[in-house]
Amino acid sequence: MVGTRLIVTAVTPEWATIAGEQATGFATSVIACSAEAAIERELAPEDTPDGRPGVSLLLFAFSRDALSAAVVDRVGQCILTCPTTACYNGLATDDPDNRINIGGQLRFFGDGFQGSKKLGDRRLWRVPVMDGEFLCEEHFGTAKGVAGGNLLICGTSAEAALEAAVTAAVAMRLVPDCILPFPGGLVRSGSKVGSRYKALKASTNDAWCPTLRARTESVLPDSVETVYEIVIDGLTLESVTEAMRVGLEAAVASDGVELVGAGNYGGQLGQHHIHLRELV
């Protein structure tokens, strides 16, 4: 996958978060979404380019062109439109081939009234809007990332599995350079590659569905009632590995967890393998 980081600032933390949540909506899986995205972390004023509170967002897509299109759409529809926001590049790169043009495309919304300014060697576009101006950096850096790291947390009850998965997700979000793109970081509809229906790229992971234990080749012991998956996307293999390690430790320390596994798709979804036993 190819990833980028956006720094979104606003007059208050609440408005920055609203913009970040809107821009990363409907972004759980590239199976059906234009990108996989989520808020990476909150930022204090001293950590942003303009000294205002903000959030950092990570977005991933299959190619640089696909990522560029998704970022332009999401910034234009969800950050440009949000009161008081500005949007800056959060991933430095010296290679012009690893950049995508965002502000340079969104500037045309200014209908000829837009202007540019330089901040060091960075160009920003000032787009007039009804509460002042929207400031957006022209180029954003990109990097090859790793998507689809995962844990499958199996509990002896629905309550135990959910509590353990939430605990793991909270711990994993503290790891920099990675995100958990699904709702609350959790996936109840874990999938496998392919389907008996030709139109589908993915379908329910029946081997890990407790309710299908008697009807399929299940990998689950009889004591497991509920399974939640956590999917991790990161800018580096090391960040995804660390997030999986932290999540694994948190999950196995939780009451009612019978088994923790990970999806192995026979190399169909990429060359990176992170073995859980090596993380213990």
Single-letter amino acid code for the residue at 82: C
Sort 134 into a burial class: Cβ within 10 Å, 0-12 / 13-18 / 19+.
Answer: buried
Matching residue, tokens 């399929």? 216
* The length of the chain, given as a count of residues: 280
Q: Which residues lie closer than 8 Å to 204 by C-beta, 6 or more apart?
A: 189, 190, 191, 192
Determine the Cα–Cα distance for residues 92 and 21; give it in Å rounded to an integer.
Answer: 23
Which residues in the chain show pLDDT less than 50? Answer: none
Single-letter amino acid code for the residue at 261: G
pLDDT number for residue 164: 98
Count Cα atoms within 13 angstroms, Cβ side, for 142: 23
Instruction: Enumerate long-range contacts of 188-194, CB under 8 Å, 24 or more apart.
Output: 188/228, 188/229, 190/152, 190/227, 190/229, 190/263, 191/31, 192/263, 192/265, 193/265, 193/266, 193/268, 193/269
For 88, the enclosing helix (H) or strand (E) is: strand 86-89
pLDDT number for residue 271: 81
Q: If phi over 0 gives left and psi between -120 and 50 gives alpha, with beta otherwise, what is residue 96? A: alpha
Determine the Cα–Cα distance for residues 275 and 280; give it in Å rounded to an integer.
Answer: 10
Nearest to 226 by CA among 187, 269, 262, 196: 187
pLDDT number for residue 265: 75
Determine the Cα–Cα distance for residues 59 and 68; give it in Å rounded to an integer.
Answer: 10
pLDDT number for residue 3: 98
Q: Are 233 and 272 in contact (CB under 8 A)?
A: no
Determine the Cα–Cα distance for residues 269 and 280; give it in Å rounded to an integer.
Answer: 24
In sequence order, the β-bridge partners of residue 87 are: 8, 136
Both tokens of 91, joined, read 């991933």
Angle in degrees, 0-180, between the axes of helices 158-172 and 237-252, rounded to the nearest 10: 140
pLDDT number for residue 280: 87
Q: Are 1 and 233 in contact (CB under 8 A)?
A: yes
pLDDT tens digits for range 74-103? 999 999 999 999 999 999 998 999 999 999
Q: Tell me the whole-structure pTM to 2 decimals.
A: 0.95
Helix (H, G, I), strand (E, B) or coil at 259: strand
Helix (H, G, I), strand (E, B) or coil at 249: helix
pLDDT number for residue 171: 98
What residue ranges define each of the domains in the chain, with the CATH number in brackets?
2-143 (3.30.70.520), 147-279 (3.30.70.520)
For 85, the enclosing helix (H) or strand (E) is: none
Both tokens of 218, joined, read 């299940």
